[in-house]
Amino acid sequence: MRKRLAQFRKLGRTPDHKWAMLRNMVTSLIKHERIVTTVPKAKELRHLADKVVGYAKKGDVHAKQLALRVVREKPMVTKLFEVMGPRYEDRDGGYTRVMKLSRPRRGDNAPMAVIEYVDRPGEIRAARVPEKRKQKYFNNLGEVLEHAGIKQNQQS
């Protein structure tokens, strides 16, 4: 029998301790929008952080109640729904980025990573523009250029 294939990482903690740690980390990630942690913790946090942004995109009362179950501070829930929800409304997923750092942690040689939200001011590496945003802004590009007096090259 093949067991434990679809489960998440244990991270060397009891389930209650792991859940408390992930709730604290997602609250800090919303607050600072970039945190440094170990690679396994960052990969595990990615699922929860993306799910919380999905709640913010829905924006209804039930989604806010679900987010309050996860996020520990009410001002961070407000930031999530008022700032981050509208920011990611045209992105279908992949709200976080995990980048491995070159140097491991000094004390125990644990591999370290930076987890951050994409499409934010001051991000380390610019994210790809979502297709919905491309269609939204570049749909009438020809009309805008013509109105500005710029001739387009007709290449076939």
Provide the residue-wise pLDDT of the chain in tens; the chain has 156 residues: 566 555 678 888 898 999 999 999 999 999 999 999 999 999 999 999 999 999 999 999 999 999 999 999 999 999 999 999 999 998 888 999 999 999 999 999 999 999 999 988 877 777 777 777 777 666 666 666 777 777 766 554
**pLDDT of 97:** 93
The pTM of this model reads 0.80
Residue the block writes with tokens 């930076």: 114
**pLDDT of 5:** 56
Q: Are 79 and 73 in contact (CB under 8 A)?
A: no
DSSP labels, the chain: ---SSS----TTS-HHHHHHHHHHHHHHHHHHSEEEEEHHHHHHHHHHHHHHHHHHHH-SHHHHHHHHHH-S-HHHHHHIIIIIHHHTTT--S--EEEEE-SS--TTT---EEEEEESS-TT-SSPPPPPHHHHHHHHTTHHHHHHHHTPPPP---
Which tokens hold the place of 112? 């370290």
**pLDDT of 156:** 46
User: Cα–Cα distance between 45 and 47 in angstroms, integer?
Assistant: 6
**pLDDT of 121:** 81
